[in-house]
A and B are shown apart, each in its own frame.
Chain A
Amino acid sequence: MRKIGVFVCHCGTNISSMVDIDRVIESATRLPDVACAVDYQFTCSAPGQTQIKDAIKEYNLDGVVVAACSPRMHEPTFRKTLRDAGLNPYMMEMANLREHTSWVALNRGEATAKAIDLVRMKVAKVARLRPLEEIHLPVTRRALVIGGGVAGIQAALDIADGGVDVTLVERSPSLGGHMAQYDKTFPTLDCASCILTPKMVEVASHPNITLLTYSEVEEVTGFVGAYKVKARIRARSVDLEKCNGCGTCLEVCPVRVPSEFDASLADRTAIYRPFPQAVPAAPAIDRESCIYFKTGKCRACEKVCPADAIDFEQENEIVEVQVGAIVVATGFHFFDARKYTEYGYGSYKDVISWLQFERLTNASGPTGGKLRRPSDGMEPKSIVFIHCVGSRDPSKGFPYCSRICCMATAKHAVITRSKIPDAKIYSFYIDIRAAGKGYEEFVRRAIEQEDVQFIKGRPSRIVQSDGKLLVRSEDAFLGRQIEVEADMVILTNGAAAQNDAAELAQMLGIGYDQYGFFNELHPKLRPVETNKAGIYLAGMCQGPKDIPESVAQASASASKVLGLLSRDQIAREPIIAEVDPGRCTGCMDCMEVCFFTAVEEDEFMERKIAKVLPGVCQGCGACVAQCSDGAMELRAFSDEQIHAEITALFAVEVAR
């Protein structure tokens, strides 16, 4: 006979307002195996935990049922309580009386009946639990950072400064991400590249960082502490060791294609460096537009290279890295404003995107920082900004707010004012969202000091007439239609998840939402962890956020990585599958269904049987359901334990 303690939590009134606690206690007391059943206001509080510890000693308990909130919330808390009291932490189960009962029940009777059933089921399960010991695994003290934008850079630097080796994988030929394309940052108007490029250089020269640019992660296997990563380094056709970054090759290349970095406002060559401060400085040959790769003739760059660094024969290379932890910082892309055909982006030359505007005002951009409209190079005297293009619009874009656009537009308006003092500047918005340090003040500055007209209204159409852009909108405050004549219109297109975000999430085994943003483990309390231990998030890939938030999240991820990798070993939950060698017939069906290749062949009394690798098994139980001999069991979720829960539910007729 077991001696089980049942501890029922009121959770203030969260549970007790819908569940008759006395009846739960009374019913639990009558169950066999139950040595004591008590309640408390907040079982998770220090006195609540003391109540459990005291009862364990007093009744010499060998199992505990905590009837409180979801085990996804407090299971670790109460496991620790048991450990502190000298009881094996896995001799505990939680009955979910809050999330699954009191908060969702329509009436007290139903809630109480359910609570009584859930406690009875858990008592039956606890009576069949066995003590388990944690599994200790060695840790690889190296981290992988995916993405070389500002978040990835910050995470890599923080981890490397903590003394841990980092491999940083960036898809494009240079570090920098979107931030490198921006002109200034809000609300301080710091020059974006002035604050970013020193960090890029630091990454490249850091002794603890291995930088792989023009590379992509192809495969990730393993688990926390021991991930195996395959990365593909695309053939750059330029030898990184030999190239001294002189740029002579860029001058002779005859090819011109639209520059991704300049948002198609300028051209680049086939052998190219996205921008002058690129890190690494060595260019890459874009084989799709290179004449040599298309026709077998040219090689102009090779002829002029003083370092003999051009290598047309270079091939893609696969490298394998072992890492203990991974930071995902893959960023975002801008919503495609062409979907708003009524604004004419893509057909009217002077309707441009936010990113194009950044390039137009950037001193290293196609106009050398002079604000000129693309169609005829004229200095625009009337400029319209339109907020929320693709954001807060479920009909054509996304329902969410992209968070950065209001501030970016205020910044653009202020920059415009400094470049063209006599310009008329209009900004069409739905709501101004300026929550951040110094943000509201910055918007006020744009309105009050920089004479930017903010108009509440969503333009319905832009009409091009006689070289002018007529922006038609309602003015929601005046309650009437207005028309603004503009020389140039900037669409503030929102942020969207990367197109291949879902693919990456599936490769890593992490969650993502309906838009493709990666899911954090808990929205409030675990904002940088994912559902996969040892994989963390930083920056826009998790959801729209500005630069300071991205950087803060990157540093948070880095500290998580450093914490994890500061130990020689990490403890893993012992909830894994195990084989009963006496029953196993060696059919190896379990091996077939194991996604993690955690099952191996073994020998037992001169016959073949299956064996589970404790470090690899993730504890899903697919093999257990597959086993036709009942030889495979999942600890803490064994057939016996789950059967006990099911039969206990129907063991007693309960009044309703």
Chain B
Amino acid sequence: MPRAEIVKKVPINDSYFLFRSCVSSSKYPGIETSTEEVFARLGIELEDSPEQSCCGGFITFTSLAEVTASLPAVARNLSIIEESGKNALTVCNGCHMFLTEFGHFMDHNPDITNKVNEMLGMIGREYKGTSHVLHMLEAVAGLKNRIKELITRPLKGLRVATHYGCHYLYGFKHDAVDDPYMPTVLEELIEIAGAENVTYPEARTCCGSGLTQVIIHKEEMSLPFLKRKLDSLKKIEADVLIVVCPYCMTILDRGQFKMEERGIEEYGVPVLYINQLLGLAMGIDPVRLGLEAHITPVKRLLEKLEVSNA
């Protein structure tokens, strides 16, 4: 299906359930604050729940147990979303993949769902399979026309590169808003923000995070992926790299520091979440966008935009 048609199907509501992500909450609070700021301007309410836990991906990522061991955690979170009666928004590729794919899995395996519900029954919960989980990129793509009206400070002359992340590229085949192998939806949003898209050969390859997981943790294998990506990015002299996943952000942002620290290479390309970029274009105070928490300095970027990070 062509993207324009899929984007039209994104449900646009007055309020959503904001599904928080461990990585963003703990490492890059700006991802969530920028989301709150942007959605406040859009007049859309975001509800969250203190009951919510990690999506369940942690169990899988760390290889601590079988993949199915994540199911009760995923189902519990989905039951919380169901309780809110709202469509959910996730800020993270991983959360989105776990919630949608595992939900899909449970919807097609009633025997396993019954077992999961037995467990949930002990804490008075039930998974019904009635929720709809959206990735932030889908939501902002669906809201692009309303966002366009809120752009007060077009990011003229800003050279912006993109990174979608593997779980966006290969994980969302069932309901991706775009061709998962060659997406361009982010580029469209960057244009709306008034910035200039620049592309680099390795734009759609992995950041290397897959090899940094706790159990595998083969940094010596992971770093060449990151280096290949950053080398390619450096050549095009981008002002900023936009991501849609906190985990990719961790690798790409902190990885630059790591490379520099080890004397391998200096890059200095700040990494921002899409809503942080949109926030800048809407004239939102950089402090509210949480840019201070970024390891790779954003100073030069803000100078270019003539914004102070006071």
Contact = CB atoms under 8 A, between A and B. Distances in A.
Direct contact of A and B (CB under 8 A): yes
Contacts of B173: 395
Contact of B204 (A340, A395, A461, A466): A461
Nearest to B182: A341
Contacts of B181: 340-342
B87 interface: no
A465 interface: yes
Interface string B186-220: 00000000000000011011000000000000000
Interface string B140-169: 000000000000000000000000000000
Interface string B39-70: 00000000000000000000000000000000
A347 B201 CA distance: 13
Nearest to A341: B182
A648 interface: no
B205 A465 contact: no
Classify chain B's interface size.
Answer: under 10
A395 B174 CA distance: 11
B309 interface: no
Contacts of B182: 341-342, 344, 347
A505 interface: no
A367 interface: no
Contact of B179 (A341, A395, A461): A341
A463 interface: yes
B205 A461 contact: yes
A399 to B, nearest CB: 17
Contacts of A464: 201
Interface in B75-93: none
B232 interface: yes
Contacts of A36: none
Contacts of B204: 342, 461
Nearest to B199: A464
A348 to B, nearest CB: 11
A470 interface: yes
Contacts of A466: 201
B179 A463 contact: no
Contacts of B179: 341
Contact of B201 (A340, A395, A465): A465
Contacts of A465: 201-202, 232
A177 to B, nearest CB: 32
Contact of B202 (A340, A341, A463): A463
A466 B204 CA distance: 16
Contacts of B201: 463-466, 470
Nearest to B178: A341
Interface in A318-350: 340-342, 344, 347
Contacts of A472: 205
Contacts of A341: 179, 181-182
A487 to B, nearest CB: 15
Interface of B, secondary structure class, is loop
A464 B202 CA distance: 8
Contacts of A344: 182
A64 B310 CA distance: 101
B207 to A, nearest CB: 14
A470 B204 CA distance: 13
Q: Which of B179, B182, B205 has the most CB of A within 10 A?
A: B182
Interface in A332-378: 340-342, 344, 347
Contacts of A470: 201
A342 B206 CA distance: 13
Q: Which of B181, B202, B205 has the most CB of A within 10 A?
A: B181
Interface string A385-412: 0000000000100000000000000000
A470 B229 CA distance: 13
A479 to B, nearest CB: 14
A344 B201 CA distance: 12
Contacts of A342: 181-182, 204
A395 to B, nearest CB: 8
Nearest to A395: B173
B234 to A, nearest CB: 13
Contacts of A395: 173
A351 to B, nearest CB: 12
B225 to A, nearest CB: 10
Interface in A461-497: 461, 463-466, 470, 472
A340 B205 CA distance: 15
Contacts of B205: 461, 463, 472
B205 to A, nearest CB: 7
Contacts of A463: 201-202, 205
A431 B204 CA distance: 28
Nearest to A463: B201
Q: Which of A342, A464, A472 has the most CB of B within 10 A?
A: A342
Interface in B215-248: 232
A485 to B, nearest CB: 12
A463 B225 CA distance: 14
Contacts of B202: 463, 465
Nearest to B202: A463
Contacts of B232: 465
B259 to A, nearest CB: 20
A465 B235 CA distance: 11
A347 B182 CA distance: 11
A317 to B, nearest CB: 38
A47 B205 CA distance: 71
A461 B181 CA distance: 9
A347 B203 CA distance: 15
Nearest to A396: B181
Given A461-B204, A472-B205, 14 more contacts: A341-B179, A341-B181, A341-B182, A342-B204, A347-B182, A395-B173, A461-B205, A463-B201, A463-B202, A463-B205, A465-B202, A465-B232, A466-B201, A470-B201
21 contacts: A340-B181, A341-B179, A341-B181, A341-B182, A342-B181, A342-B182, A342-B204, A344-B182, A347-B182, A395-B173, A461-B205, A463-B201, A463-B202, A463-B205, A464-B201, A465-B201, A465-B202, A465-B232, A466-B201, A470-B201, A472-B205
- A-B complex: 7 closest residue pairs judged by Cβ atoms: A341-B182, A465-B201, A341-B181, A342-B181, A463-B201, A341-B179, A464-B201
Interface of B: 173, 179, 181-182, 201-202, 204-205, 232
